[in-house]
Structure 1
Amino acid sequence: MAQISATEQPHMKQIDLKQLNIPQLSQLKQQLDQELNLFQESLASLKVAQTKFQTSSETLQNFSPDSEGSEILVPLTGSMYVPGKLVDTNNVIIDIGTRYYVEKDIPAAKDYFQRKIEFVTEQMEKIQYLGLEKSKIRDAIVEIVEMKLAQQQQS
């Protein structure tokens, strides 16, 4: 699939949109619509991940040496919990992805989640920027199509 960008890139060829015919412009618009939908889906997935990391980080705020021995509900799945008791409030086991878990002390776990939140946020910002750029190109294409259709009606 060809890339479409408003900014000049060394590996890309620049095309004057006014030189394209209406079917070509429609195909280009359709491609941009697909890319924008993909960006929206990616943003939604990243937002879910960001929320999970933030929730995990906030949960760590509740851990203290005073909470040792407290009864809690331990999540086994998204909807199934079992009763448990806090034994070691200085260390936690965190999911680092693809069924890998690692034991970390509370400050290291907080740092891990903070770094993940920052990384996901950066990725979201990049996607939002690209989406805005593609949206501007899409709007320009729509404007040119309308202009060409108006010219066809006049002649």
Structure 2
Amino acid sequence: MAVNASQLSLPQLDNVKTQLEEEVQLIQSSMQQLKTVQRKLKDSQDSLETITPENEGKTILVPLTNSMYVPGKLKNCDKVIVDVGTGYYVEKGTKEASQFFQRKIDYVTKNLEKMQGVLIEKMKMRESIVSVMQMKIAGMEQTQTVAK
């Protein structure tokens, strides 16, 4: 059920504006997190290009955690281990792994696009509420000036 913003009082409008601002911040934060995930997926996909038979036996840094790496040798260049989420890892061929990353990138991109649309709508709603608030304040000031 839609409510006409001009029928709300100033305190109600202020509450709606505050709620919309919080939603905008949450959406922006979520979008930033998705962009980070998208970038990491793309980096993983790009890294697959260096895993070629020509590079077999070369020294690489193997991540143990997000900030700790140990030296290792590249071996079995036709297979990689992919983190598929929630602590599960699967062995895949490099082409299959690249396709996996591309599907994930596409999924995240679609979600970012949806969130962008929602963000724009919330921002328009906030602008509309602010406009109604300004009109009400101007009307109150005019009424007070006439009353004097």
Per the TM alignment, residue 80 of structure 1 is displaced from its structure 2 partner at its CA by 1.2
**1:72 alignment partner, SS class:** strand
TM-score (norm 2): 0.94
CA distance in 1, matches of 2:75, 2:6: 69
Q: Could you tell me which runs of 5 or more consecutive residues in structure 1 were left unpaired when the two chains were aligned.
A: 1-12
Per the TM alignment, residue 121 of structure 1 is displaced from its structure 2 partner at its CA by 0.6
Q: Render the CA deviation track for 1:41-99: whole Å, top value 9, x for unaligned.
A: 10011011001100000000111111111111111112211111111000000111111
CA distance in 2, matches of 1:91, 1:31: 49
CA distance in 2, matches of 1:28, 1:50: 32
Are residue 79 (structure 1) and residue 67 (structure 2) matched?
yes
**Structure with max Cα Rg:** 2
Are residue 120 (structure 1) and residue 124 (structure 2) matched?
no
Per the TM alignment, residue 116 of structure 1 is displaced from its structure 2 partner at its CA by 0.5
Tell me which amino acid in the other structure corresponds to 1:113.
F
**1:117 alignment partner, SS class:** helix
Partner of 1:95: 83
Q: Render the CA deviation track for 1:117-148: whole Å, top value 9, x for unaligned.
A: 01001111111100000100100000000000
- Structure with bigger helix share is 2
CA distance in 2, matches of 1:87, 1:144: 66
Partner of 1:22: 10
CA distance in 2, matches of 1:27, 1:127: 23
CA distance in 1, matches of 2:84, 2:61: 21
Q: Could you tell me which runs of 5 or more consecutive residues in structure 2 were left unpaired when the two chains were aligned.
A: 144-148
Q: Percent identity?
A: 46
Partner of 1:109: 97
Partner of 2:121: 133
Backbone CA RMSD of aligned residues: 0.7
Tell me which amino acid in the other structure corresponds to 2:103.
R
**1:88 alignment partner, SS class:** coil
